[in-house]
Amino acid sequence: MTGSPGPAELEALRLSLEVAVRSVGFSLPLAVLTAWVLTRARFPGRLLLDAFVHLPLVLPPVAVGYVLLLLFGARAPLGSWLRDHFGIQLAFTTAGAALATAVMTFPLMVRAIRLALENVDRGLEDAARTLGAAPLDRFLSITLPLMLPGILAGAVTAFAAGLGEFGAVITFAANVPGVTRTLPLALYTAMQSPGGDALALRLAILSFALGLLGLLAAELLVRRVRRRLGG
C-alpha cells in the first residue's frame, strides 16, 4: 500500500508542473525561431549552431547546470548584472529551475519543430508569394499551421521531459524545499532519508504516471491536429 498523496508529494508535484510550464513558455518561441533558422537559412557556421543547439542532449546534465551557475550565479557576470539592474536572481530559485529545465529540453522542441518544418510543402508558400502575400503573411497563414503538429509535439514532449529533469536543476537551483524541490529531487531526497522508502515509491509512481500521460498527450494532440489539417 502506498497511501494517498501527502503534502510532500503535492508540493513536489506543484513545483514540477510550475517549472515545466515556465520552461516551455520561455523557450517555445525561441525554439520555433531556431528551427526556422536551421531549416531555411543558409549561412557560414550553421552546422556549428546546429551542434551547439543540440549539445544538451549529449552533455551530462550536471555540466549544463554548472555552466549556468558560472553564467547566472550570484557573483557571475550575467547573474550579478540581472540582480543589480532588474532585481532578478536565478540561481537557487524556482525561476532558475525553470531556466535549467528549459536549456535541457530545448533541443527536443527544436528537433520536433524542425522535422515538421522540413515536411512543409514549399510549393504552397511559393504560390502564396506569387499571389502577393508578404513573408509574414505566408508564415502565419500557411507555414505556421502546417508546423503546428510539430510545435505541439515538441512542447508537450519538452513539458513531460521537464517534469523529470534532475541533474541541471539540482546543480544550478539546488534542492530547496518548496522552492526547487521538484518530483525527481523529492524522490532523491526520500531515497536518502531513513524510512523514506514509502514516500520514494509514491513519488516514483507519480513520476512514471506523469511521464506516460505527457507522452500520450503529445501523440494524441499531434494526431488530432493532423486530422484537422488533412480535413
Give the pLDDT confidence of 152-181 residue by residue, as tens digits. 889 988 998 999 999 999 999 999 999 999
The answer to whether residue 202 scores a pLDDT higher than 60 is: yes
**Does the reported pTM lie above 0.85?**
yes
Asked, for residue 87, whether it belongs to a domain, the answer is: yes
Asked, for residue 106, whether it belongs to a domain, the answer is: yes
The answer to whether residue 230 scores a pLDDT higher than 80 is: no
User: Angle 221-224-227 (CA atoms, 0-180°, nearest 5)?
Assistant: 150
- Can you read off the three cell numbers belonging to residue 46? 550553421
Domain span at residue 135? 7-230
Longest dimension (CA), the chain: 70
Closest by alpha carbon to 32, among 99, 135, 106, 97?
106
CATH of the domain at 35: 1.10.3720.10
Query: What pLDDT, in 10s, does the model give residues 29-83?
Result: 999 999 999 998 888 988 999 999 999 999 999 999 999 999 999 889 899 999 8
Asked, for residue 133, whether it belongs to a domain, the answer is: yes
Count the neighbouring beta carbons within 10 Å of the beta carbon of residue 11.
Answer: 17
Q: What is the pLDDT of residue 167?
A: 94
Q: What is the pLDDT of residue 3?
A: 53
Asked, for residue 21, whether it belongs to a domain, the answer is: yes
Asked, for residue 82, whether it belongs to a domain, the answer is: yes
Burial class (CB in 10 A: 0-12, 13-18, 19+), 50: middle
Count the neighbouring beta carbons within 10 Å of the beta carbon of residue 138.
Answer: 18
CA 31 vs CA 57, 149, 198, 221: distances in Å: 15, 14, 39, 19
Asked, for residue 2, whether it belongs to a domain, the answer is: no
Asked, for residue 171, whether it belongs to a domain, the answer is: yes
Asked, for residue 1, whether it belongs to a domain, the answer is: no
pLDDT band at 1 (very low <50, low <70, confident <90, very high): very low
